[in-house]
Amino acid sequence: MEPARTYPAWRDDVRLLVVDPAAGATRALRELRTGALPSLLAPGDLLVVNDAATLPASLLGRDEAGNAVEARLIGAGRDGNFQAVLFGAGDWHLRTEDRPPPAPASLATGARLFFGEGEGELVAVVGKSRPPSPRLVELAFELAGDALWGALYRAGRPVSYSYLTEALPLWAVQTVYAARPWAFEMPSAGRSLSWEILLGLRRRGVGWASLTHGAGLSATGDPAIDAALPLPERFEIPAATIAAIGDTHARGGRVVAVGTTVVRALEGSSAATGAPRAGVGETDLHIDAGYRPRVTDGIFTGIHATPETHFALLGAFAPRDLLVAALAAAEAGGFLSHELGDAMLILPGALAPRGPSIG
């Protein structure tokens, strides 16, 4: 399937493939545009989004010996340090799997790495590596607080991949409702949700709630790391979101997650008790076809190919044969994949006749 190589001129100008597992085999798929989303949900349903803003998580620099290095931040610890994947020479123009590993000097515990130039230079000290790869390291920056964030935004760029025609500007990898800078890659499912679509949902009587999830990298080119993705990621769920979910289910409404990160946060939060809880947490939950969601009834997401972990997660919402048929239809129809591509809604009853909206 062809990837989207740049962002659309209009945020919501993307195609939408609707997958309704409750419909008959011949009626389970329909191609629309994302602007039709409000008509596919019912009054009393609830949309839950990830409001994490996307960080400039790619840092190009060098080690003390002058060896080129790129650090792609992948997670944040409560101690103020970051987890990062280190690359050798090159940049986003090369496929991640073709990038050389960093020089041994860059990986040594205690090594100092330098990002940016002049007064804006950002220095990090390499900590111990973490399983499953020596390239997955802890970085301790020599700045802290506001000074660190200012330097990070000066030195960093959004993570970009080789299928793109240009490096992504930071504004292009934000949702319209982005808040705290927690995401290391864009929570891309929500990128196509314009204010016009959100207003249409409100007029329809569809509820709205948010959480914050620190989305990590989707690919590193290191087979050991990629096989382990997604790595544990932190989240925070407000009490108001938990209340909205409870009210929605009590009324017979459906909870629709915008993106795999929202599914992981809500389902990860409910893993211990069977119900999601408000507060800060971390999830290492891997969701696939064998998982039965406790909280989420459907998902609005991107177009994900079968080898991806994101595709495995979609198996919790629809049978594999239906998902494979959906991908085949998307490919035949020229749908675009990856973070700037087209969208998919998987929701039982999405293609059923709808009553009038509220308001």
**pLDDT tens digits for range 151-177:** 999 999 999 999 999 999 999 999 999
The pLDDT value recorded for residue 246 is: 98
Q: Where are the domains of the chain?
A: 15-54+167-346, 58-155
In sequence order, what are the residues at sequence separation of 6 or more whose Cβ sits closer than 8 angstroms to the Cβ of residue 206? 38, 41, 42, 43, 44, 45, 46, 47
| Average pLDDT value for the chain | 95
Fold of 15-54+167-346: QueA-like (3.40.1780)
* pLDDT grade for 91, boundaries at 50, 70 and 90: very high
The dihedral built from the CA positions of residue 326, 327, 332 and 338, taken in this order, carries a sign that is positive
* pLDDT grade for 118, boundaries at 50, 70 and 90: confident
Q: How far apart, in whole angstroms, are the C-alpha atoms of residue 283 and residue 233?
A: 6
Strand order in the sheet with 279-283: 29-33, 15-19, 343-346, 298-302, 255-258, 46-50, 207-213, 233-237, 279-283
Between 25 and 210, residue with greater pLDDT: 210
* pLDDT grade for 309, boundaries at 50, 70 and 90: confident
310 by DSSP, 3-state: which? Answer: helix
Indicate the range of 73-82, 92-101, 151-160 predicted with least confidence.
73-82
pLDDT at position 9 over 60 = yes
Fold of 58-155: Thrombin, subunit H (2.40.10)
The pLDDT value recorded for residue 307 is: 82
pLDDT at position 352 over 80 = yes
In sequence order, what are the residues at sequence separation of 6 or more whose Cβ sits closer than 8 angstroms to the Cβ of residue 93? 162
* pLDDT grade for 247, boundaries at 50, 70 and 90: very high
The pLDDT value recorded for residue 357 is: 44
What is the model's pTM?
Answer: 0.95
Give yes or no on whether 15-54+167-346 and 58-155 have one common fold: no
Range list of β-strands (E), the chain: 15-19, 29-33, 46-50, 53-54, 58-63, 68-76, 82-87, 112-115, 122-130, 133-141, 181-183, 207-213, 233-237, 255-258, 279-283, 298-302, 343-346
Q: How far apart, in whole angstroms, are the C-alpha atoms of residue 71 and residue 59?
A: 5
Bridge partners, residue 236, by sequence:
212, 280
pLDDT at position 317 over 70 = yes
* pLDDT grade for 215, boundaries at 50, 70 and 90: very high
Round to the nearest angstrom and report the end-to-end CA distance of the chain. Answer: 40
